[in-house]
Chain A
Amino acid sequence: ETGVTQSPTHLIKTRGQQVTLRCSSQSGHNTVSWYQQALGQGPQFIFQYYREEENGRGNFPPRFSGLQFPNYSSELNVNALELDDSALYLCASSPRASGGGSYNEQFFGPGTRLTVL
């Protein structure tokens, strides 16, 4: 069984640029969530995708956007990069979307470390 994979592992961009991060979910998982983890902080929820539609969003501006593809892989796009966007971006997959108090364990990928100069 293949786990969650993310690419690239590291990325350096300059302020104002745009970036696309990619995630392949674990086999059999149809839900992907994205998190941003700044240095010394816990991960913060960006959004979740279930069956190619956004299924919940955290407190992030619209320049953070995403996609999910029919094979359940996902992209995170960030436009107009700011210095504070420098962080570890984590993708997590789960068997199905959670709601109403239920929970499915989320399995995390190794992350993409983004540095904005």
Chain B
Amino acid sequence: EADIYQTPRYLVIGTGKKITLECSQTMGHDKMYWYQQDPGMELHLIHYSYGVNSTEKGDLSSESTVSRIRTEHFPLTLESARPSHTSQYLCASSEYGGSQETQYFGPGTRLLVL
């Protein structure tokens, strides 16, 4: 089992609130990712990072922001949550390994915005 953690696992929050989804890994991986997944649908990359102080937007437009101040920590923040943000958010990490690079996923955070 991979050492990648996400908190909270479930979050119900009102519209307009600011929230931060936490993700941390203890494997020393340089690369970290955030995905959004609606039920029964494919994962969409929303943010990724190649290392400390590196953040990039993914292929799905998102109103969230991320930061990477420490290797092991990659939090995702929504400044003002809306019902359209209701989804599952998955964090992942990997280390450079060329074409055989394996991603390890956290358990996910299920977000419901009322």
A binds B: no
Which B residues are closer than 8 A to A by beta carbons? none
Which A residues are closer than 8 A to B by beta carbons? none
